[in-house]
Structure 1
C-alpha cells in the first residue's frame, strides 16, 4: 500500500488522472472501475479536461460501477448509473454500451449480482478501480462487518451511511435502505486500486484502514493485502496517520519513472 499526501483535491485528481491516462494510452481497451460520491469528482473533471484539450480517448475503454441503490426507478437522478453518466461518461467518448452498473431494479437480485460478476470477468477484469471511503471505513457499500471475501451482493445500509447520503436527496426518508455493491473480494481482484480521501472527516477512517488491523469492522483495511493499492489523501485526511512524515519522504524521493 502506497500512501501519497498531497496539498489539495486538485493535485490528487491530477495524479490519479495521470495513472488512468497512462493506462488508457498503453491499453486503449482498459477496464475502469468507477466510483461515485464527492471524492472522485476531481479525477473525472481532470479526465474530461484531458479528453477535451489533449485528445485523451476512452473510445475502446469499458467502465464498471461499484454499486447501485435498490428500488430507485431507471433514470432516477440519484441512481448511481445516472450520477456516473453526469460526472464522467457523458463528458468523454466512452461508448454508452461499454458502461455497466449493478442492476438495482432487477426482480432477481441474486441472479443480477451473479451476472454482474460474470460481466466483469468477461471484460478481462478491472484494470484500475477508483474508490472513495466512508467515514466508517466502508468502500463501495461494504459496510462494517462485510466479509473480506465477499462478491457482488445486496447489502443493508447503516443509518450513518444513509445520513451521510441524505444530502443528495430531498430528505433521509428518500434514501433507500438497500444497495447492490461489488464485494470486497471483487474489489480486490482489480489490478490497481486508487483510493481518494479528503477532509478531516475522513481522517479517522484513513488512520484505521491504513495503519490499523485488517478487520471486517473497517472494510477498507482489506486493501492492506492488495499488491497495488494507492491511497491519495490531503493533509486533513492524513492528520491522524502516525507515519505521515514517512509517507511524505517516500513519495518525495521515489523515482520519477515509477509513477503510482
Structure 2
C-alpha cells in the first residue's frame, strides 16, 4: 500500500491524472476501470488537459465504469453515462464503442450484470481501477454487508448513500434506490487500484478502511489485501493516519 497525502486538491488531481496518463503512454491499449461522483472530476479535467496538449491519446484505450443507477435514463443529467460524457469521454479521442457502462434500463437486470461481467472478462484484466470511498466504506456501490458478491450485480442503495448523493438531485426522493455495480472481486482483480479520498468528513472511514480489521462490513477494508494499492488523500482526509 502506497499512501500519498497532498496539501491541495490541485496537487492531488495532477498526481491522479499523471498515474493514468503515464499508464496509457506506456500501454496505449490499457483497460481502465473508472469512477464517478465528485471525487474524480478534477483528475478527469487534468486528463483532458493532457490530451489537448498532445501528451496522451486514448484512441486504443478501453474503459469500464464501476456502476450505473437503475431506472435513470441514460440522457438524464445525473446518469453516469451523462457524467462520463460531460467530464471525460466528450473531450477525448476515445471511440464510443470502447467505453462501457452498465445499462441500468436493461429489461433483464440480472442478464445485464452477466453481460457486463463477461465484457470485462473478454477485455482482460483491468490495468487500473480508479475508486472513491463512501462514508460507510462502500466502493463502487458495494454496500456494507455480512457477505459481498464477487461479480457485477444489482444492489439496493443504503439510505446513507442515497442521502450523500441527494446533493446531485432535486430531492432525496429523486435519487434511485438501486444500481448496477462491479463486485468487490472484480475490483480486486485489477492490476493496480487508485483510491482517491477528499475531505475531513472522510477521515474516520479512511482510517478504518486502511488500518482497521478487514471485514465485509467495511468493503473498502478489503483493499488492504491488494498488492498494488495507491491511495491519494488530501490533508483533511488523511488527518487520522498521522
Whole-angstrom CA distance in 2 between matches of 1:179 and 1:149: 14
Q: How does 1:39-188 map to 2 (within 5 A)?
A: 39-145=39-145, 147-148=147-148, 150-188=150-188
Equivalent pair of 1:70/1:176 in contact (CA under 8 Å): yes
Residue by residue over 1:63-84, the C-alpha shift from the partner in whole angstroms, topping out at 9 and shown as x without a partner, is 1000000011231111111111
Equivalent pair of 2:127/2:190 in contact (CA under 8 Å): yes
SS of aligned partner of 1:54:
coil
SS of aligned partner of 1:140:
coil
Whole-angstrom CA distance in 2 between matches of 1:149 and 1:79: 23
SS of aligned partner of 1:60:
coil
Runs of 4+ residues over 3 Å off in structure 1: 146-149
Residue by residue over 1:122-170, the C-alpha shift from the partner in whole angstroms, topping out at 9 and shown as x without a partner, is 1112111111001111110001116345211000111111111011111
Task: Identify unmatched segments of 5+ residues in structure 1.
Answer: 245-260
TM-score scaled by length of structure 2? 0.97
Q: How does 1:158-237 map to 2 (within 5 A)?
A: 158-237=158-237
Task: Identify unmatched segments of 5+ residues in structure 2.
Answer: none
How far 1:54 sits from its partner (Å)? 3.2
Whole-angstrom CA distance in 2 between matches of 1:153 and 1:206: 25
How far 1:61 sits from its partner (Å)? 0.4
Whole-angstrom CA distance in 2 between matches of 1:75 and 1:125: 30
Q: Which residue of 2 aligns with 1:247?
A: none
SS of aligned partner of 2:3:
strand
What's the C-alpha RMSD, in Å, of the aligned pairs?
1.1
Whole-angstrom CA distance in 1 between matches of 2:204 and 2:151: 26
Whole-angstrom CA distance in 2 between matches of 1:69 and 1:199: 25
Residue by residue over 1:73-123, the C-alpha shift from the partner in whole angstroms, topping out at 9 and shown as x without a partner, is 231111111111111111111111110011111111111101101101111
Aligned residues: 242
